[in-house]
Amino acid sequence: QRHYVEILDAKTREKLCFLDKVEPHTTTAEIKNLFAKTPLQWYSAHQSLHLDPKGKSLKDEDVLQKLPMGTTATRYFQDVGAQISWVTLFLTEYGGPLFIYLLFYFRVPFIYGNKYDFTSSRHMVVHLSCICHSLHYVKYLLETLFVHCFSHGTVPLCNIFKNCTYSRGFTGWMAYYINHPLYTPPTYGAQQVKLALDIFDLWPAGSKTRKIPYLTKNPFTWLFLLVSCPNYTYQVGSWIGFAIMTQCLPVALFSLVGFTQMTI
């Protein structure tokens, strides 16, 4: 038995289109494609369909016959604007800081003055910081390409400007001071650097298995007693460690802003 699907504007409740003879096994993605072929021509990637005007967006894989409906299935449409893939967002967001930091580390021309072009710092902590910073973002880039599975295929285009402004702006700010020819090592020397490095590197073993995490004998899992977002917690912890290692105020502010956003 085929069904009828009407699509209404989520704000005005105005009827936008009426789809007849829709197969019961049709997915939300296929309904979006049918809607895109109507005279209104809304791109599928710009569409968000809901069961009620203020409800959650339906997943593309949701099947028509498995969702509540009467004789006619009603879907409420919302324009989510231009979209990009999560992979594109993360590759852009993580690749930028990796490249920018290395520009300051290698002291390319026009940053610190001609006499410092392509010179190297005499402080070991500067080189260690570059290694930690680079590995952090290389790890994220590799996870984006080979590990992560995204529940939604796209994200609003405006996010790329917000995320990149934050990550690249702070990276340039912190890298300028850490790699500056006049940079001085942390107050407590090697002991402070070692402590900070231990904090920075408290990452649990990675896994591709997607399941609800539980406490184990591993002490690094005991944070589950306090938090429900361990990935964010370890990320904030690593940047706190980086701030202690470099004793650099911009890194501390970067950690604070990131913590605020992740808390939200």
Contact 47, 79 (CB under 8 A): yes
What is the pLDDT of the chain when averaged over all its residues?
89
DSSP string, the chain: --EEEEEEETTT--EEEEEEEE-TT-BHHHHHHHHHTSTT---GGGEEEESSTTSPBPPTT-BGGGS---SEEEEEEEE--SEEEHHHHHHHHHHHHHHHHHHHHTT-TTSS-GGGTT---S-HHHHHHHHHHHHHHHHHHHHHHHT---SSSEEETHHHHHHHHHHHHHHHHHHHHHT-TT----TTHHHHHHHHHHHHT-PPPP-S--------SSGGGGGGGT-S-HHHHHHHHHHHHHHHHHT-HHHHHHHHHHHHHHH-
Predicted local distance difference test score (pLDDT) of residue 183: 97
Q: Is the pLDDT of residue 204 over 50?
A: no
The pLDDT of residue 212: 57
Angle at 52 between CA 48 and CA 57, to 5 degrees: 30
Q: Give me the pLDDT at residue 228, please.
A: 66
Per-residue confidence band for 262, with pLDDT thresholds at 50, 70 and 90: confident
The two structure tokens encoding residue 120: 């190297």
The pTM score is: 0.77
What percent of the chain lies above the pLDDT cut of 90?
64
Q: How many CB atoms lie within 10 A of CB 170?
A: 20
Is the CB of residue 44 less than 8 Å from the CB of residue 81? no
Mean pLDDT calculated for residue range 12-33:
92
Find out whether 213 and 255 touch, Cβ atoms under 8 Å: no
What the chain holds in terms of domains, given with CATH numbers, is 3-81 (3.10.20.90), 84-263 (no CATH)
